[in-house]
């Protein structure tokens, strides 16, 4: 595989190609059918990437997002500027990330002036991260970035995370240079030893050290084409990655916070519910203040927190809510890929959306359990968003077999 990557030539190194010959007019002299064919081909490529079978995904993720805030982020090849475009797309990413990974945690870092600055700590509250991103719009971009300092800072926050969770770093890198204080190869080795996956999205051109970091840590490296492609690359990081190697299954102790417990007899005391207490999430910050009755109490030690999920700072228990686990269920048992087959004349419409099949749609997708036929758009929607086959869910017999 390494030899293939080294010998693979770039587009500008290949021979002369007549790319315009791929575009052909239909009988009416229009290009609509050709454009529709290109769109369908892109969708089929996405469906092929999704059809990976039953793989083990990282259910609990700890992710640091590193944003380049150097002087090059003021360039206007992305509108209005690179930095503002990235911040806007990151707001969408944070929302989608916690919607698909409700028991995961995310933190934000920036790098400029050869240093790395922490904007938000690892936390599971998307509101905190979105507000921090909105405040960064007035941030001044200056100096050079430091890729090594950013990776070291993120690694220090990830290396002590539990072994059953995935440790990831996503770097949005706009510069073509990096000013590092030491040997970056030692940092790459430390990242690999700590099982930290680094994925990098380049905003300018390909940088060799970025590709090397992503390759050696098991991440991905891509360079954007335009702002729409950048959005696709960022949102592609929402899906949990496959677990690297074989991790032995183990039970994880979790707590479901309830009311304020009475320390003496372990029961809930209504008078204690209104007792003021400091939130351990923000006890070290300057804005910390006494909380009212709205909070979550650790069932093991009684510590108060204002958000879930979180790891208790006193006893180390992971605190979650039941809806969080329910929304993460599809990561443990992903839906099986639908079988692609040729459409027969008897199949008139899609079972999911009831759309009539047109002549251009030669292939359809069939569930191997309920044998219902769906179109390509519904196949992607079921696997990316719904995570449940509508045919199996509407059939009482199949639904009962699935729950058992």
Q: What tens digit of pLDDT does each residue of 303-330 get?
A: 888 777 787 888 888 888 888 777 777 6
pLDDT tens track for 190-204: 999 999 999 999 999
Cα distance between residue 268 and residue 9, in whole Å = 67
DSSP designation for 196:
E
Residue ranges for the chain with pLDDT beneath 50: 1-4, 53-54, 260-274
Orientation angle between helical segments 184-193 and 208-217, nearest 10 degrees:
20
What's residue 171's pLDDT?
97
Q: What is the CA radius of gyration of the chain?
A: 25
Cα distance between residue 333 and residue 392, in whole Å = 15
Closest by Cα among 236, 119, 112, 87 to 168:
236
How many helices (H) does the chain have, and how many strands (E)? 13, 16
CB atoms under 10 Å from CB of 43, counted, come to 15
Q: Which two tokens stand for residue 292?
A: 């009212």
**What pTM value is reported for the model?**
0.75
Average pLDDT over the chain, rounded to an integer: 80
Q: Which two tokens stand for residue 43?
A: 């969708």
What's residue 50's pLDDT?
55
Tell me which H or E stretch contains 43. Answer: helix 32-50
Distance, CA of 322 to chain centre:
21
Buried b (16+ CB within 10 A) or exposed e, 159-168: eebeebbbbb
Residue the block writes with tokens 């991260």: 129
What's residue 267's pLDDT?
38
Cα distance between residue 140 and residue 133, in whole Å = 13
Domain architecture of the chain: domains with CATH: 55-237 (3.40.50.410), 253-260+275-321 (no CATH), 335-399 (3.30.40.10)
What's residue 316's pLDDT?
82
One-character DSSP codes across 270-288: TTGGGS-EE-TTSTTSTT-
What's residue 275's pLDDT?
59
CB atoms under 10 Å from CB of 329, counted, come to 10
Pairing of strands 304-305, 296-297: antiparallel
CA angle 314, 319, 322 (to 5 degrees): 165
């Amino acid at each position: 595989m390494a030899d293939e990557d080294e010998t693979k030539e770039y587009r500008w190194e290949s021979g002369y190609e007549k790319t315009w010959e791929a575009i052909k007019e239909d009988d009416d002299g229009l290009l609509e059918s050709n454009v529709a064919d290109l769109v369908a081909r892109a969708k089929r490529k996405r469906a092929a990437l999704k059809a990976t079978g039953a793989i083990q995904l990282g259910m609990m993720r700890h992710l640091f997002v590193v944003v380049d805030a150097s002087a090059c982020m003021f360039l206007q090849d992305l509108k209005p500027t690179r930095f503002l475009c990235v911040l806007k797309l990151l707001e969408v990413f944070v929302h989608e990330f916690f919607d698909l990974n409700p028991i995961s945690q995310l933190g934000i870092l920036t790098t400029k002036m050869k240093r790395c600055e922490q904007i938000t700590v690892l936390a599971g509250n998307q509101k905190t991260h979105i507000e921090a991103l909105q405040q960064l719009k007035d941030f001044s971009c200056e100096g050079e970035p430091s890729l090594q300092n950013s990776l070291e800072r993120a690694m220090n926050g990830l290396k002590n995370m539990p072994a059953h969770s995935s440790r990831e770093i996503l770097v949005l890198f706009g510069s073509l240079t990096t000013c590092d204080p030491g040997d970056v190869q030692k940092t790459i080795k430390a990242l690999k030893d700590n099982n930290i996956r680094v994925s990098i999205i380049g905003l300018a051109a390909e940088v060799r050290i970025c590709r090397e970091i992503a390759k050696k840590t098991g991440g991905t490296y891509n360079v954007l084409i335009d702002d729409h492609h950048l959005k696709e690359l960022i949102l592609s990081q929402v899906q949990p990655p496959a677990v690297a190697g074989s991790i032995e299954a183990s039970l994880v102790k979790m707590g479901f916070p309830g009311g304020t417990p009475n320390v003496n007899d372990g029961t809930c005391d209504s008078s204690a519910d209104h007792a003021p207490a400091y939130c351990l999430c923000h006890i070290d910050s300057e804005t910390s203040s006494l909380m009212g009755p709205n909070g979550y109490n650790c069932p093991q030690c009684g510590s108060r927190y204002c958000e879930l999920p979180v790891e208790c700072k006193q006893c180390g228990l992971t605190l979650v809510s039941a809806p969080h686990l329910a929304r993460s269920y599809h990561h443990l048992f992903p839906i099986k890929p639908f079988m692609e087959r040729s459409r027969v004349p008897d199949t008139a419409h899609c079972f999911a959306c009831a759309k009539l099949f047109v002549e251009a749609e030669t292939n359809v997708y069939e569930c191997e359990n309920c044998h219902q036929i769906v179109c390509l758009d519904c196949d992607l929607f079921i696997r990316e968003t719904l995570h449940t086959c509508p045919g199996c869910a509407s059939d009482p017999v199949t639904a009962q077999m699935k729950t058992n």
